[in-house]
Amino acid sequence: MPTVKPPIFELLWRGGSTEARLHKRRGGADEMPWGTLDLPRVDPAIAEEARKVWTNGVFTEYASAAAFASLTTALLECGAPVDLTAMSADIVVDELFHVELSSRLTTELGGATPLEFDVANISPRTTPGARPLLRAAELALTTSCVSEALSVPAMARSRAMATAPLIHAVLERLVADEGPHARLGYWFLDWAAEQLTDAEREGLAELALSTITVYAPLWQEQDCDACPVPTGFGGHDEVGREALRKAVHANIARPLAEHGIVLDASRIAALTAR
């Protein structure tokens, strides 16, 4: 039997009228200082690590687009407020615009590094057989209340450390868009929380903890003196890791508790311990 190679994540671009429509809705890309990175003056190891960081960034923005698309469908299926659903759909366009910006930046850094992933599996999963309201709540929680809530402080710290004008400009745009992405889940819970059963809220609390655990390595990993850290190109440092720990408490656990989804305090403490 021939060996089946894992699919390589790659992007396609059509151009023409579809590109014009995207840029009419999300302008400003061409005004950024493209072509200004002085790569010959950058340590090759730092440049290579930056390529890895931004290749992963392209993928995560693409995955976020898929997640908000799934959430939008779930909101329609549970009869969520129309304006809230429209916002979720509009965020999909935000995320695909971020894919464009991040991929263009990756190209300027020297090109993407190989990343194996089958996009057929990119949409998030929900509990089999869950009723429409619970399915929407699960997607809102994982996509917005946790993932985007952690994305905001991570990007903000990277922006603060960015030394190249192009890196700073791209991160500035991403950070400006991400704030509402992190609030959408809580706006959904404002409407939906009282319609959830106690058992469903307990299940959502467990889902939040498991999702936070997936992201925990971002703030649990320690600096390696021998490892190249592209802090001026989108990497993180201890200040950024501390911001993520604080975000778990202030931007996830506390507001979820206000909506009746109470996370186990001892597990949160263990996950965020320094």
pLDDT of 85-137, one tens digit each? 999 999 999 999 999 999 999 999 999 999 999 999 999 999 999 999 999 99
Domain annotation covers residue 33: no
CB 202 within 8 A of CB 263: no
Domain annotation covers residue 46: yes
DSSP 166-199: HHHHHHHHHHHHHHHHHHHHHHHHHHHGGGS-HH
Amino acid of residue 229: V
pLDDT reported for residue 3: 65
Structural domain containing residue 140: 42-122+132-272
pLDDT reported for residue 236: 72
Domain annotation covers residue 216: yes
CATH of the domain at 212: 1.20.1260.10
Residue 226 pLDDT more than 60? no
User: What percent of the chain is modeled with pLDDT above 90?
Assistant: 86
Give the list of residues 6+ apart from residue 1 with CB closer than 8 angstroms, or none. none
Domain annotation covers residue 142: yes
Chain-centroid distance of CA 154 in Å reads 10
Chain-centroid distance of CA 33 in Å reads 24
- Measured between alpha carbons, how far is 178 from 183 in angstroms, rounded to an integer? 9
Residue 175 pLDDT more than 80? yes
Residue 143 pLDDT more than 80? yes
Measured torsion, CA atoms of residues 262, 206, 125, 63, in degrees rounded to the nearest 10: 70
Domain annotation covers residue 73: yes
Identify the CA nearest to 122 among candidates 41, 197, 62. 62
Domain tally, the chain:
1
Domain annotation covers residue 27: no
Domain annotation covers residue 171: yes
Domain annotation covers residue 11: no
pTM for the model stands at 0.93
By residue count, the chain amounts to 274
